[in-house]
Structure 1
Amino acid sequence: MDQIDIDMIRLLQLDGRISISELSKKLALSRPSVSERLKRLQEKGIIEGFFALVPPAAVGKKLLVMIELSELRVSLEEFERMIANEPDVIECHRATGHVHYYIKAALNGTDELTRLIENFIPFGSTRTSILLGSPIDRRVILPS
């Protein structure tokens, strides 16, 4: 990976809808070269895909929470099958240490939060925090 690839990755993370023509101009490369580099980055798994970022509040999900699940009472596989079907969960991370999973959910209100926590109780102990803000929501990731 050279500096042009790194610059392309940065530009695409800032604007995933940037056109090949605009990338071509910003990188000072021909459109075919940009297309080929983009294809290669995707084939190598460096770029996994492109998607729309939707702020949860924009679709009525005004309550953001982080739930810690510890003291797991079932297998990892069983828990992960269950959580894959929880539509309010927007992130789930398995971790080392005393907390097995960190779960981020976007909800309409406390009724949904109650339901979600009640669904988790058979799987382990929970601890919930309401997220008040995100000083760093997402950051461009580049190779070092």
Structure 2
Amino acid sequence: MQVISKKVVRTTMESLDRIDRDILALLQAEGRLTGAEVGRRVGLSQPAASARIQRLEKNGVITGYRAVIDPVALGLNIHAIIRLRTTHAHLPRALDLASRTPEVTSILRVTGEDCLIFDIHCPQAERLEHIVDALARYGPVTTSLVLRAHPPKPLANSAATTS
């Protein structure tokens, strides 16, 4: 039996140069850019830009590409955040319920008084009420309606940068 070791490269914000950070910022904003267009915008040739993108993918920095959907365009007019304070005994059941609820678009396990934060997109208030009541079986909930969501800030620009 031959064991082949796989070299794991740990990438940190400090290990990325300005061009890598610029590439990440571009792809977070416009994930469908071609290697040639990325190269043009950061001052590299298409092969050099593509090689950097492939290295970022191989090292697990870029984990995928996806479409960003406008919930309102799908009739999901209510955006809410639900915070749940629960016990360790109820945590697995609350997570299971949330994972089976299609209106739950993200789940965060957090520290502090609350244990879980759920991002919810619903078509109407009655459906939100049903979700709140279902989660409340596992502990006190706090629900906040989102008035406006601002675009996420690209990670490549959010940490202290060094070159």
**4+ residue stretches of structure 1 with deviation over 6 A?**
none
Contact 1:24–1:31 (Cα < 8 Å) also in 2: yes
Aligned with 1:123: secondary structure? Answer: coil
Residue 153 of structure 2: aligned partner:
139
Distance 1:73 1:110, change over 3 A: farther
Give the CA deviation at 1:18.
Answer: 1.0
* Alignment deviations for residues 73-119 of structure 1 (CA, whole Å, 9 cap, x no partner): 73433322221111001121111111111111000001111211122
The alignment status of 1:108 with 2:154, answered yes or no, reads no
Offset at 1:33?
1.6
How far off its partner does 1:21 sit? 1.4
Taking the aligned partners of 2:89 and 2:103, their CA distance within structure 1 comes to 21
Whole-angstrom CA distance in 1 between matches of 2:102 and 2:41: 39
Aligned to 1:48: 63
The runs of 5 or more residues in structure 1 that have no matched partner are none
- Residue 21 in structure 1 maps to residue 28 in structure 2: no
Asked whether 1:33 is paired with 2:38, we answer no
Q: Which runs of 5+ in 2 are unaligned?
A: 1-15
| TM-score, with length taken from structure 1 | 0.90
Partner in structure 1 of residue 91 of structure 2: 76
User: Is the 2:22–2:42 Cα contact (8 Å) retained in structure 1?
Assistant: yes
Task: Classify the secondary structure of the residue corresponding to 1:58.
Answer: helix
Measured after TM superposition, the shift of residue 30 of structure 1 is 2.1
Counterpart for residue 10 of structure 2: none
Distance between the aligned counterparts of 1:8 and 1:44, measured in 2? 15
Supply the distance in 1 between the matched residues of 2:55 and 2:80 (Cα, whole angstroms). Answer: 37
Kept in 2, the 8 Å contact 1:72–1:125? The answer is no
Amino acid at match of 1:54: I
Deviates more, 1:26-35 or 1:84-93: 26-35
Aligned-residue CA RMSD (Å): 1.6
Matched AA of 1:102: I
Q: What secondary structure is seen at the aligned counterpart in 1 of 2:55?
A: helix
Work out the CA distance in 2 between the residues paired with 1:40 and 1:78. 39
